[in-house]
């Protein structure tokens, strides 16, 4: 736990990245596994995580992110996209995954399946999009925590044109919607923000014990 808190005190939202420094394959694998193991409602993981390395593509995305240099200068760009087509078939795929992973007959999971289908089926389109979008933030949190453990910088970003991202990346054809992104890499020595003291609410201001 001490190393976790050390990482949380070390991390900040880097404003300027060193474009010459790249994340190793081993560390990238760890970050991806941390995201894969994230919690989600029912375990459904109603999203995809797209990792963009291609420089030309990232240059296009930079234009749709108001010219923010983190998009192109960070080692990798993680894009968390919610599944806007979530339906009963999505639940069936998840149930089959549980069945295969735990060696349990799918029929024995019928009650769980029906419950999830009832929840998903009763959500309006807007409510479903809000719910699936919220799930991406849990995965983003895992990415930020894992990156800090590895002393890798990660900048969560909502300042981008989601519709433009969807068009550039072809998300509309995939049933996805870009929700939040994270630039991941190594801070530049000239990024003054790394020297700023972390500002957070005190324990007394933040926590209420009942």
Contact 111, 6 (CB under 8 A): no
pLDDT at 68: 98
CA torsion, ordered 203, 207, 209, 210, to nearest 10 deg: 150
Q: Is the pLDDT of residue 200 over 90?
A: yes
% of the chain at pLDDT higher than 90: 99
Contact 157, 180 (CB under 8 A): yes
Residue 115: give the domain boundaries. 2-206
Q: What is the pLDDT of residues 18-27, one digit of tens each?
A: 999 999 999 9
Contact 123, 87 (CB under 8 A): no
The two beta strands, 47-52 and 76-83, are antiparallel
Q: Is the pLDDT of residue 33 over 90?
A: yes
Q: What are phi and psi of 164, to 5 degrees?
A: -70, -40
Q: What is the pLDDT of residues 86-109, one digit of tens each?
A: 999 999 999 999 999 999 999 999
Q: Is the pLDDT of residue 148 over 90?
A: yes
pTM across the whole model: 0.96
Q: How confident is the model at residue 2 (pLDDT cuts 50, 70, 90)?
A: confident
pLDDT at 1: 60
Q: What is the pLDDT of residues 165-179, one digit of tens each?
A: 999 999 999 999 999
Q: Is the pLDDT of residue 125 over 90?
A: yes
Domains: count for the chain: 1
- Average pLDDT over the chain reads 97
Question: Which CATH number does the domain housing residue 76 bear?
Answer: 3.40.109.10
The two beta strands, 47-52 and 153-157, are unpaired
Contact 106, 95 (CB under 8 A): yes
In the numeric block, which tokens belong to residue 1? 């736990």
Contact 83, 90 (CB under 8 A): yes
User: What does the pLDDT average to over 10-34?
Assistant: 98
Residue 58's closest CA among 68, 49, 45? 68
Strand order in the sheet with 76-83: 47-52, 76-83, 176-185, 153-157
């Amino acid at each position: 736990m001490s190393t976790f808190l050390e990482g949380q005190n070390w991390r900040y939202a880097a404003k300027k990245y060193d474009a010459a420094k790249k994340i190793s394959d081993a560390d990238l694998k760890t970050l991806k596994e941390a995201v894969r193991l994230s919690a989600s409602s029912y375990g459904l993981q109603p999203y995809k995580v797209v990792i963009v390395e291609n420089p030309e593509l990232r240059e296009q995305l930079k234009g749709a992110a108001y010219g923010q240099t983190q998009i192109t200068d960070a080692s990798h760009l993680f894009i968390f996209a919610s599944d806007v087509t979530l339906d009963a078939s999505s639940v069936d795929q998840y149930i089959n995954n549980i069945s295969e992973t735990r060696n349990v007959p799918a029929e024995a999971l019928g009650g769980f399946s029906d419950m999830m289908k009832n929840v998903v089926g009763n959500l309006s389109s807007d409510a479903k999009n809000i719910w699936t979008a919220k799930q991406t933030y849990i995965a983003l949190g895992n990415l930020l925590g894992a990156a800090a453990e590895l002393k890798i910088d990660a900048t969560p970003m909502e300042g981008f044109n989601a519709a433009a991202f969807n068009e550039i990346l072809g998300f509309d054809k995939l049933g996805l919607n870009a929700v939040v992104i994270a630039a991941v890499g190594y801070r530049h020595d000239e990024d003054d923000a790394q020297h700023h003291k972390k500002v957070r609410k005190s324990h007394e201001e933040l926590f209420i014990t009942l």
